[in-house]
Amino acid sequence: MITKPKGTTDITGNDALLWEYVNSVVSNIMTAYNYEYIRTPIFEMSELYHRSVGENSDIVRKETYDFKDKGNRNLTLRPEGTAGVVRSYLENKLYASPDIKKYYYNGTMYRYERPQTGRLREFTQFGVEVIGSNDPIIDAEVISLQYHLLEALHINNLQVNINTLGDEESRANYKEALLKYLKPHINELCEDCKERFKTNPLRILDCKIDANSEILKNAPKTINYLTKDAKDRFEKVLRYLDLLEVDYEVNPRIVRGLDYYDHTVFEIVSLDKEETSQSVLGGGGRYNKLIKELGNKDTYGIGFACGIDRIVNMMKEIELYKNVQKEIDCYVMYVSEEEKLHAIEIVQNLRLNGVVTETDSLNKGLKGQFKEADRLNAKFLIILNNEDLKKGLVNVKDNHTKEEEKVDIDEIVEYIIGNL
């Protein structure tokens, strides 16, 4: 038997119901915040990720799915959504009007990681990118959108871990201080950190292997190397988050794994879950330099992404979702060919009016159809028989109260809708 590739999932049954639910909450809340849906390709030119996510990021160094197509182009399956959205913004000159663009997306991403629960090679993110404003009101909006969306999914005990990397000058000051501090300790850190010391020293701070080492705990903090402007900016973000009732904690260890960030960076976790790298439900930050680097447009950007696979795993632990099951409105039952012809019409009429309806297609007898209706949790059964049909009537049974009633065949849709 052919099996699915390592690190991918099949989403079926109740999990699929939860996914559909998440998708509907995402699109409703994005619409309420006035974010526009954007869809970009699943593969892009490899260079895009080298220049945005960064040559020295773990993602580009170890995790991308790269391939050449028949035209000898170097392509990469997208490991994240930000780069593609920025590329699209520049390529399609979406900056022409208006000045601020707010996008949301929802799609599969690909990273060649070591698969485990909550860490997959093909996974799905929803996320937003706001391009054009540097006002801290947008940092706060994006963070609160992510926070309140997860709250709407009943994920409790949320906490945003927030930090700032500051502007270019702050970052340069900080990097210098960090290198100076780490130099005498470098041999005590893990092999990856030794490499990061040369290529991407900030990443040492969120190393999962050395997470509890005293060396990292006592490392200099970005907050102490900020320019006055960067500090004022961050304080405003925090003040606005207070107004928006977002639970946050300033955590100097949050630096994020992608190279494009500056100023605000954040990750969101549920404190109900033991802290591991897979307990992070989403993360994001500002990338004010990225758009200039990828194109000629000097403008600002900020966004976040959340992993739906991780969110659904979390939802499955919540009481409310434990007994989620499929339900339909109506099951239409028949036996003879004559009754079947009526069934076809009735089913279609109900469906066209938005009533979730099913009927038999396996030649089951009445007993089998009753069983199937129960399996589908049908609220109403419409039981057709020739005698009633001749009088223009159908037999409707409320499958919960078990009450039965004869209804005029021409009024069946109104009757069902009125009683749902």
Please tell me the distance from the alpha carbon of residue 286 to that of residue 265, in angstroms, as a whole number: 7
Smallest distance, Å, CB 256 to ligand HAM? 7
- Closest Cα partner for 252 from 164, 314, 318? 164
The residue among 123 and 334 lying less far from ligand HAM, judged by its C-beta, is 123
From the CB of 3, what's the least distance to ligand HAM, in Å? 19
Q: Which is nearer to ligand HAM, 315 or 389 (CB)?
A: 315
Residue 317 contacts residue 310 (beta carbons within 8 Å): no
Rounded CA-CA distance 129/285 in Å is 10
Smallest distance, Å, CB 230 to ligand HAM? 18
CA distance 397 to 379: 9
Phi, then psi, of 411 in degrees rounded to 5: -110, 10
Q: Which is nearer to ligand HAM, 180 or 292 (CB)?
A: 292
Least Cβ distance, residue 219 to ligand HAM (angstroms): 21
Q: Which is nearer to ligand HAM, 53 or 350 (CB)?
A: 53
Q: How many Cβ atoms sit within 10 Å of the Cβ of residue 67?
A: 12
Q: Computed from CA positions of residues 253, 143, 109, 38, in that sequence, does the dihedral angle turn out positive or negative?
A: negative
Instruction: State the nearest-atom distance from the C-beta of 286 to ligand HAM, in Å.
Output: 8
Produce one character per residue of 31-56: b if its CB has 16 or more CB atoms within 10 Å, e if not.
eebebeebebeebbebebbbbbbbee
Nearest distance in Å: CB 321, ligand HAM: 18
**Residue 314 contacts residue 150 (beta carbons within 8 Å):** no
User: Quick one: 110 or 197, whose CB is closer to ligand HAM?
Assistant: 110
Q: Contact residues for ligand HAM (CB under 6 A)?
A: 80-82, 111, 113, 118-120, 123, 125, 127, 129, 257-258, 280-285, 303-307, 309-310
Nearer to ligand HAM, 89 or 380 (CB): 89
The single residue listed with the structure tokens 């392509």 is: 75
